[in-house]
Amino acid sequence: MMTSSALAGYLIVSGLLLVIGIVGFFVRRNLIVMFLCTELMFQGAAIAFVAIGRYLFDYSGQVMVIFILTVAAAEAALALALVVLLHRQRDTLDSDVFGELHE
Amino acid sequence: MDLFLPYIACLTFALALFAALKPSPLKLRVTLIVIAVAASGWLIGLITGSLSAFTDASQGVFFVIFSLCAIGAAIRLISHDRPVYCALYFVLVVLSTAGLFLLLEAEFMAFALIIVYAGAILITYMFVLMLSNQPDEMNNSSLLSYDSIPREPASAVAVGFLLLCLISGTVISGTEMLPEQGTPQSQWATLPHLSKQFEASVMEIDPAFAWPPIEDLNGNIIQFNGDDAFVVSSEGKTLILPIDVLPRNTQQVGWSLVNDFPVSLELAGVILLMAMFGAAILSRRAIELGEQEKRSMFASSSSNRSNEQGNEE
């Protein structure tokens, strides 16, 4: 069994991970680390899903984590392919350099 | 609980995070990160109340260890100068999250998370980092200027602070409005669908068990009496099911996946396929062959062919 205050503890941990991910996404200028920060936000969401699923004894919460993994894998593949493409063009990973997309 | 204490904890966390993002000597930075982790631990403590909120004290201790590990590694991730170390700290976040999943009795997802994230996605990140990491010629060090100087840390941390206040306020006021906790009995609902396993486990307990006629079964074959789950045979005999007959976590998740979300499962497959195509198309490098190269390629292939014919003869 899981008390509601234990659930609150798990939810605040997931909220903290989400907030750190958002701050990191704004603060970092390296494209790859920015994408790592989005993965951090996914982790926060996954903890919230599993904790609420455990509280309600509903396994849909864990199934949602499978879908989160799917989206994260697809996002990583596409984003990293784009990063490799951009790095070939400008020879840098600084996101500010790509502010102007024209040649 | 004092109404303002959680917000003071949030403010401490945000200030320490802001200071840790600025470029500074390693010792000062580590101290600031420890302060931020301590503030987040204080916030968690204020909201959880005490370790007695958990079923036993060891579970509470492990919860605190894993969550502080995850938060500390996450802060180090967004404040570290070198992207490769950022990726390694993300592995630590994933491992701590897997530990939290184990505490939540989600064993399958814990290990799937380690295999998929730490094993596959992180390797992709490391590959791209290794492909693209070049030292900066300008200041003649291996640190890149865009990795060590943060962009707009003040406004980013302000946004993060507001969001954290909102989340903790919602969690504090929301714990009273939570829906009723689910009953452990709902865990048994999967068992009748796994009919072979169900039958075998019942036969193991009582080989002479007489199944009721199939039209009487309609879904509620497992009945509950307080904490015990039991089945009633056609002769009216009750058979109490022991707890180890309960389907395992993997079976439960698998059943929920294919029974409740079949369309989403198909969609996930299509998304993965499209991502694979997209990545292959985006990252392929078109090679333009000149006239000379085409000719030499043709010549070498035709000479190979004549060689093969010669061998056959």
Is residue B108 within 8 Å of residue A62, measured between CB atoms? Answer: yes
pLDDT, position B179? 80
DSSP state letter for B244:
G
Where does chain B have alpha helices with state H? 5-21, 26-48, 57-79, 83-103, 107-113, 122-132, 145-148, 153-174, 195-205, 214-217, 249-260, 262-283, 291-312
What mean pLDDT comes out for the span B1-18?
Answer: 87
Tell me whether residues A12 and B47 touch, CB distance under 8 A: yes
CA distance B210 to chain A (A): 31
Rg value, chain B, Cα: 30
**Confidence at B87, pLDDT banded by 50, 70, 90:** very high
- Closest CA relative to residue A76, chosen from A87, A65, A84, A86: A84
Tell me whether residues B109 and A55 touch, CB distance under 8 A: no
What mean pLDDT comes out for the span B60-76?
Answer: 94
Tell me whether residues A9 and B53 touch, CB distance under 8 A: yes
Residues 193-212 of B with CB under 8 A from A: none
What mean pLDDT comes out for the span B280-291?
Answer: 76
Of A6, A78, A83, the CB nearest to B54: A6
> pLDDT tens for residues B171-208?
988 887 888 777 777 777 777 777 777 778 877 777 77
**pLDDT-wise least confident of B20-34, B188-202, B225-239:** B225-239
Tell me whether residues A63 and B104 touch, CB distance under 8 A: no
Contacts of B60 in chain A (CB under 8 A): 6
Mutant choice from A1, A18, A19 vs B, greatest count of B C-beta within 10 A: A19
Distance CA B277, CA B289 (A): 24
Inform me whether the pLDDT recorded for B308 exceeds 60: no
What mean pLDDT comes out for the span B248-263?
Answer: 90
Is residue B185 within 8 Å of residue B229, measured between CB atoms? Answer: yes
Inform me whether the pLDDT recorded for B247 exceeds 90: no
Size of interface A-B (CB pairs under 8 A): 275
What's the CA angle centered on A2, arms B240 and A42, to 5 degrees? 120
**pLDDT-wise least confident of A49-58, B79-88, B167-176, B278-287:** B278-287
Contacts of A89 in chain B (CB under 8 A): none
Rg value, chain A, Cα: 17
B184 touches chain A (CB under 8 A): yes
Helix (H, G, I), strand (E, B) or coil at B181: coil
CA distance A42 to chain B (A): 11
| Tokens 């995070």 -> residue | B17
Of B104, B128, B159, the CB nearest to A32: B128
pLDDT, position B184? 74
State which H helix or E strand residue A47 sits in.
helix A31-56
Contacts of A48 in chain B (CB under 8 A): none
Q: Least CA distance to A83: which residue of chain B?
A: B128
Please list, residue by residue across B174-203, b when 16 or more beta carbons sit within 10 angstroms of its beta carbon and e when fewer do: ebeeeeeebeeeebbbbbeebeeebeebbe
Distance CA B167, CA B181 (A): 21
Is residue B261 within 8 Å of residue B222, measured between CB atoms? Answer: no
Q: Least CA distance to A23: which residue of chain B?
A: B156
The per-residue pLDDT of chain B, averaged, comes to 83
Report how far apart the first and last C-alpha atoms of chain B are (Å, whole number).
93
> pLDDT tens for residues B129-143?
888 766 555 555 566
Tell me whether residues B21 and A46 touch, CB distance under 8 A: no
Tell me whether residues A17 and B160 touch, CB distance under 8 A: no
**pLDDT-wise least confident of B75-89, B216-230, B255-269:** B216-230
Residues 42-61 of A with CB under 8 A from B: 43, 46-47, 50-51, 53-60
Q: Rounded to 5 degrees, what are φ and ψ at B246?
A: -55, 135
CA distance B307 to chain A (A): 40
